[in-house]
A and B are shown apart, each in its own frame.
Chain A
Amino acid sequence: MKFQIPIGPQHPALKEPIGLRVMVEGEIIRDADLRLGYNHRGIEKLAEQKTWIQNIYLTERICGICSHSHTTCYVQGVEKLMELQVPRRGLYIRTLVSELERVHSHLLWLGVAGHEAGFDSFFMYTWRDREIVMDILETITGNRVHYGINTIGGVRRDLDELQVKKILDSLDILRKRSEYYKNLGTTEPSFVARLAGVGYLSKEDAIALCAVGPTLRASGVPRDVRKDDPYAVYDEIPFEVCTADTCDVLGRTVVRIKELFQSYNMIEFMLKNLPEGPIAVRAPRRAKPNEVVSRYEAPRGENIHYIKSNGTDKPERLKVRAPTLGNYAATIKMLKNGFIADVPLIFAAIDPCICCAERAVALVDARTGEEKVVPMLALKQLSQKIYGLNARKREVEWPL
């Protein structure tokens, strides 16, 4: 018996709305279809009406977990446009926050993976230890989630000796705990049984479908913007690109845990070699007409911002390509021929940030494939018309 299971837009496995329709035969998935656009916020359009400074805080709000990634990516681009030379101490602090953010994001992901696999104790413990990083971030930036540490031309807050010491102390605990989770995550039989061999994505497919971040690296492709196209101070910091060649969810877990250790080493290196000097330079209010592409390795993968300036104090265009978007095509591939029980795990394994990836909404008639442009008001009226009439109609099929 073949039937369609709607996962989303509202579903306990999804923390944000996305429409995933899976066609199943018994417990096996035969086909999957992804619909985006439930969470479009018009950020790119809004960015065109705000000044360069205001846009820092806007880009920060593209994503809650990788808020620093988006601002850094944006700010780097703007600094290139304004031809600013950021002081080295500023760059170090910026990179330090990046790595702390990566630690918190990966610990969060570990917990989520545990939760999706029904391993709630693992979830509780990883999130408990994630609080250590959150506390560090709170002390050095002034907030737990939206750090707001970046500004055009540097960073906004300096580190003092006390904070450096506190971070170094916490690193020891974090290292110990991560070692424990590495052990636990790869030896607990019921957990490994859920992860190993699930969501297979071969190396060729991963490259062909443009997967990014840990998803790509778990398929054995050592691609990392920090190494391939170093920004900030990554060319001075020793680190390795972590890969795994199992190509499954277990591999993605292992890559993330390995990256945790790399991040700890990097944080320690940066704290020990923190250069002296100013943390920011003064930025002009306007940028010369130009365009720039800025790349950044977010915890989830490669983040790209395209910025175009026209000589005023506002960008003419800001285009954001969040890492999750690059992984969607690969997700569909991974879902096929899997079990229903594995959908949450496979989907969670790309660490999806759905509202990050919602950059455009196209109105496509699902039956005819025709595209339309309509004003918001007409859209509202249309929805009222349709749902007013069809509200109680049964057996409504997803029009494929």
Chain B
Amino acid sequence: MRIGVFIPELVRHLFKKPATVDYPFIKQELPPGFRGSPYLKPETCIVCRACERDCPAEAIEIISINEAEKRFKMIIHNDRCIHCAQCVDSCPTDAMNMDTKFEISDYDRHNLKMEWEYVRAVIKPKSAEPKS
């Protein structure tokens, strides 16, 4: 046991810059690959509904608007989304993507909803390999 073992460390830090960041005024850089919110690139979506089926929070909703025209509407309920990126992994055509936004809070949960209305794309899905 030694008295005051901590003192040198404390006094040394008295003259150093604080380790904390003045957050809302100074933003920190996010690492690439940070999982933010999912968004859709409608031109590549083939409406296979894999994302809808695998989403653990049931945050993705795909509605058929016009069967004949093959028009669909996708709603991502970002208020329910748990930002797991499973939809990105499940999507066979890279139509689902993640951005790196995290300051998405809002007073009204309906403002978080995102919608896309689009015609089904006709692309051949990639061979069914899990993403790496």
Contact = CB atoms under 8 A, between A and B. Distances in A.
Interface of A: 50-51, 53-58, 60-61, 121-122, 125, 128, 131, 135, 138-139, 142-143, 146, 148, 151, 153-154, 156-158, 180, 183-184, 187-189, 192, 278-282
A54 B56 contact: yes
A50 B82 CA distance: 15
B31 interface: yes
B130 A158 contact: no
Given A138-B31, A187-B5, A54 B128 contact: no
A187 B35 contact: no
Given A128-B19, A148-B35, A187-B2, A51 B83 contact: no
Contact of B1 (A54, A135, A153, A192): A192
25 contacts: A51-B54, A53-B86, A54-B54, A54-B56, A54-B86, A56-B56, A57-B82, A58-B56, A61-B82, A125-B9, A138-B34, A139-B33, A142-B31, A142-B35, A143-B34, A143-B35, A146-B84, A148-B84, A151-B130, A154-B130, A157-B33, A184-B5, A187-B1, A188-B5, A282-B130
Q: Chain B contact residues: over half helix, strand or loop, or mixed?
A: loop
Contacts of A54: 54-56, 86
Contacts of B129: 282
A139 B6 CA distance: 32
A146 B82 contact: yes
A189 B6 CA distance: 11
Given A189-B1, A282-B128, A142 B56 contact: no
A128 B18 CA distance: 10
A121 to B, nearest CB: 6
Contacts of B31: 135, 138-139, 142
B98 to A, nearest CB: 8
B132 interface: yes
A158 B132 contact: yes
A56 B54 CA distance: 11
A295 to B, nearest CB: 24
B29 to A, nearest CB: 11
Given A138-B31, A139-B31, A280 B132 contact: yes
B84 A121 contact: no
Interface of B: 1-3, 5-6, 9-10, 19, 31, 33-35, 53-57, 82-86, 89-90, 128-132
A178 B9 CA distance: 14
A281 B85 contact: no
Contact of B89 (A51, A138, A139, A156): A156
Nearest to B32: A139
Most chain B C-beta atoms within 10 Å of own C-beta, residue among A142, A157, A279, A281: A142
A278 B132 CA distance: 8
B6 A184 contact: yes
Contact of A121 (B10, B35, B131): B10
A63 B1 CA distance: 37
Given A148-B35, A158-B132, A279-B132, A57 B10 contact: no
A70 B131 CA distance: 23
A384 B3 CA distance: 56
Counting from the closest, the 8 A-B pairs by CB-CB distance are A54-B56, A57-B56, A142-B35, A139-B31, A189-B1, A57-B84, A128-B19, A280-B130
Contacts of B33: 139, 142, 157
Nearest to A61: B82
Given A57-B82, A139-B31, A139-B33, A183 B132 contact: no
A156 B54 CA distance: 15
B56 A50 contact: yes
B43 to A, nearest CB: 25
A158 B5 CA distance: 42
Nearest to B55: A54
B51 to A, nearest CB: 11
A188 B6 CA distance: 7
A340 B61 CA distance: 53
Contacts of A157: 33, 132
A301 B90 CA distance: 33
A121 B9 CA distance: 10
Contacts of B132: 157-158, 278-280
Contacts of B130: 151, 153-154, 280-282
B111 to A, nearest CB: 23
B54 A53 contact: yes
B9 to A, nearest CB: 8
Given A54-B56, A122-B6, A154-B130, 16 more contacts: A55-B56, A57-B57, A60-B84, A61-B82, A125-B9, A128-B19, A131-B19, A142-B34, A146-B82, A156-B85, A156-B89, A156-B131, A183-B5, A184-B6, A184-B9, A281-B130
